[in-house]
A = this chain, B = another copy of it.
Amino acid sequence: MYLTNSDIYNLDKIKRLNIINSITGIKPANLIGTISEIQGPNVTIISSVVHIGSNPPYLGFILRPGGEVSRHTYLNIKENGFYTINHVHQSFMKKAHYTSAKFPYGVSEFEKCGLAEEYLGDFKAPFVKESPVKIGMEFREEIPIKLNDTRMIIGEVMHVFIPDEIMNEEGYLDLGKAGSAGISGLNSYYGFQKRGEFPYARVENVEEELG
């Protein structure tokens, strides 16, 4: 199928959403955990977490603060300054999916979707107990994307929990072993297997490696 820009504008809204949310390829399935003093805890599925840098360790994600679901996460992060990023494991991807429902502010998706809040040490935001990989984040910067009134939220990694059996000596995580899920589009969930591993690419080795 071939679509031009104007074909895309002319698509039925749902079909456009599905296609444009699918074409970037596989996306990581993560749950963002937040809490507000008055409104309580909140957890929502996000497929836009992206690596920003390793030193300092920064991760970002895209949020549309005007959207009903994103707004609670946004307000909580701005109020509290801390949040968590938790891998969705394939065993609870259905529960994770339903955190995207538009629950009113003050209703806990942890409770409604059957996920367990976990507080670790004195970290101020809830982790998802069932998640294989859990990351405690401190908010650093909010970058407005004026083109469509979305924002990138950037935080610094303050805590990381990784099961020993999924990490090798060099620090690589085996996401197949972890059982982490991926997302395509808005509602398809995937599992993965490692298919290849290649060394750091050096110009002087390319010909030999690919020859």
The interface of chain A, by Cβ under 8 A from chain B, is 1-5, 8-9, 11, 13-30, 47-60, 62, 85, 87, 90, 93-95, 97-103, 112-114, 133, 135, 140-141, 143, 145-148, 150, 152, 154, 156-164, 167, 170-176, 180-182, 184-203, 205-207, 209-210
For the complex of A and B, list the 6 residue pairs with the smallest distance between their C-beta atoms, beginning with the closest: A25-B28, A18-B171, A22-B173, A101-B201, A15-B171, A20-B54
Complex contact A160–B3 (CB within 8 A): yes
Complex contact B98–A51 (CB within 8 A): no
Q: Which of B21, B60, B102 contacts A203 (CB 8 A)?
A: B102
A199 nearest in chain B by CB position: B187
Give the Cβ gap from A105 to chain B, nearest Cβ, in Å: 13
Complex contact B14–A170 (CB within 8 A): yes
Q: Is the interface of A mostly helix, strand, loop or mixed?
A: mixed
User: How many angstroms from the CA of A162 to the CA of B25 in the assembled complex?
Assistant: 12
Complex contact B24–A26 (CB within 8 A): no
Residues from chain B with a CB closer than 8 A to the CB of A152 are: 143, 145, 152
Residues from chain B with a CB closer than 8 A to the CB of A57 are: 5, 8, 16, 20
Complex contact B172–A18 (CB within 8 A): yes
Q: Which of B25, B147, B190 contacts A30 (CB 8 A)?
A: B25
Complex contact A194–B188 (CB within 8 A): yes
